């Protein structure tokens, strides 16, 4: 990733920063016939696909270096965890990041907060998370949970630990650093899109509104097994896709075609992503 991919929006400069690629499978797709999913995603014969994992650096007029999502760290897959080096290549190393906005606390967005020893990768960054998301992961569960959620809770406790003295909760509709938090629950209970409005246009950093873009833009009704509440995720996806297409918002997507900045247009009964850089 080079600085050439940057765009200017008002007084902000936005640069996609790749963390690498995530190997996954159409097996995670819900609510869609397998051959349809296989075809849309151009999956290999076993159903294997690769999706990008992208963070975004937003540099403001006041010297703020805001990072949207913190990458996957080095423990998930060998093809991930490149974010710190990519930031250094841009001349904005992890120590220069002043704020991190998380769309949600899933491994491919938050494991990159810490190194193997559990220390903060971003030693000077304030961490901003939606109030709902922070509450869900930080409060004791109301009852027994499936093992994968138990593991994720333990991992998130570790991910957030070095940031607890500089963690800011932002409620739905709350504002911070020029962004407005838009709660879009479903994928996780506090999944949040961060909207940046400027006189020159608006950007929506939409996290995992789509997780497998090749499938879920064409068929927004299709969910993924990572959705903690698939019905609410589907409703959020429908609402946000309609909004960005109608209002012509620029989208910064964690898992859309690299480098991940573009517009969403309607295409038949679904949508299409049109990259702008
Ligand atoms: Zn994700």
pLDDT at 5: 83
Q: pTM of the full predicted structure? A: 0.96
Separation of CA 14 and ligand 1 centre (Å): 19
Interval between CA 140 and ligand 1 midpoint (Å): 24
Q: How many H-runs (helices) and E-runs (strands) does the chain carry?
A: 7, 16
Whether 66 shows a pLDDT value over 50: the answer reads yes
* Local confidence band at 3 (pLDDT 50, 70, 90 cut-offs): very low
Condensed to tens digits (0 to 9), the pLDDT of residues 222-274 reads: 999 999 999 999 999 999 999 999 999 999 999 999 999 999 999 999 999 99
Residue 26 pLDDT? 96
Q: How far is the CA of 151 from the centre of ligand 1 (A)?
A: 17
Distance 51 CA to ligand 1 centre (A): 9
Contact yes or no for 250/200 (Cβ under 8 A): no
Q: How far apart are CA 243 and CA 119, in angstroms?
A: 39
Give pLDDT, residue 182: 98
Ligand 1 centroid–CA 207 distance in Å is 7
User: Can you say whether the dihedral through the CA atoms of 230, 33, 263, 77 is positive or negative?
Assistant: positive
Strand ranges (DSSP E) for the chain?
Answer: 7-9, 12-25, 29-30, 48-59, 65-68, 99-101, 126-130, 167-170, 175-176, 179-183, 192-198, 201-207, 223-224, 250-253, 261-267, 270-275
CA 168 from chain centre, in angstroms, equals 18
Average pLDDT of the segment spanning 69-89 = 96
Query: How far apart are the CA of 6 and the centre of ligand 1, in A?
Result: 22
pLDDT of res. 1: 43
Distance 110 CA to ligand 1 centre (A): 9
Compute, in angstroms, the gap from residue 238 CA to the centroid of ligand 1: 18
Rounded CA gap, 189 and 132, in Å? 7
Contact between 107 and 76 (Cβ < 8 Å): yes
Residue 4 has pLDDT above 80, yes or no: no
Determine the distance separating the centroid of ligand 1 and the alpha carbon of 228, expressed in angstroms. Answer: 13
CA–centroid distance, residue 226 to ligand 1 (Å): 9
Q: Which tens digits make up the pLDDT trace of 189-198?
A: 999 999 999 9
Domains of the chain: 3-275 (3.60.15.10)
Q: How confident is the model at residue 69 (pLDDT cuts 50, 70, 90)?
A: very high
pLDDT at 277: 74
Distance 211 CA to ligand 1 centre (A): 6
Protein residues placing their CB within 5 Å of the ion ligand 1: 108, 208
State the distance from the centre of ligand 1 to the C-alpha of 36, rounded, in angstroms.
Answer: 22
Show the DSSP H helices in 4-123 as ranges. 34-41, 83-89, 107-110
Establish whether the linkage from the previous residue to 259 is cis, with ω within 30° of 0: yes
Q: How far, in Å, from the CA of 163 to the mean position of ligand 1?
A: 21
Q: What is the CA(123)–ligand 1 centre distance, in A?
A: 23
How far, in Å, from the CA of 157 to the mean position of ligand 1? 18
| 108: confidence class by pLDDT, cuts 50, 70, 90 | very high
CA 222 to centroid of ligand 1, rounded, Å: 16
């Amino acid at each position: 990733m080079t600085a050439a991919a940057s765009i200017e929006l008002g007084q902000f400069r936005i640069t996609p920063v790749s963390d690498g690629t995530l190997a996954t499978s159409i097996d995670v797709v819900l609510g869609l016939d397998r051959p349809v999913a296989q075809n849309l995603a151009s999956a290999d014969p076993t159903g294997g696909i690769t999706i990008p994992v992208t963070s975004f650096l937003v540099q403001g007029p006041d010297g703020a270096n805001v990072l949207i999502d913190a990458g996957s760290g080095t423990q998930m897959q060998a093809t991930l965890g490149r974010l710190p080096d990519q930031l250094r290549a841009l001349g904005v190393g992890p120590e220069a990041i002043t704020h991190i906005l998380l769309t949600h606390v899933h491994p491919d967005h938050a494991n990159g907060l810490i190194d193997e020893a559990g220390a903060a990768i971003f030693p000077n960054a304030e961490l901003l998370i939606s109030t709902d998301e922070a509450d869900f992961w930080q409060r004791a569960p109301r009852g027994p949970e499936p093992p994968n959620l138990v593991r994720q809770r333990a991992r998130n406790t570790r991910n957030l630990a070095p940031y607890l003295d500089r963690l800011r909760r932002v409620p739905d509709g709350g504002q911070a650093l020029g962004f407005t938090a838009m709660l879009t629950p479903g994928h996780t209970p506090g999944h949040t899109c961060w909207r940046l409005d400027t006189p020159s246009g608006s950007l929506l950093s939409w996290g995992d509104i789509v997780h497998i873009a090749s499938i879920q833009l064409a068929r927004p009704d299709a969910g993924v097994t990572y959705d903690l509440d698939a019905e609410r995720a589907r409703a959020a996806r429908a609402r946000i896709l309609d909004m960005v297409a109608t209002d012509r918002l620029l989208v910064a997507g964690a898992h859309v075609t690299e480098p991940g900045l573009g517009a969403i247009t309607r295409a038949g009964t679904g949508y299409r992503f049109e990259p702008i850089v």
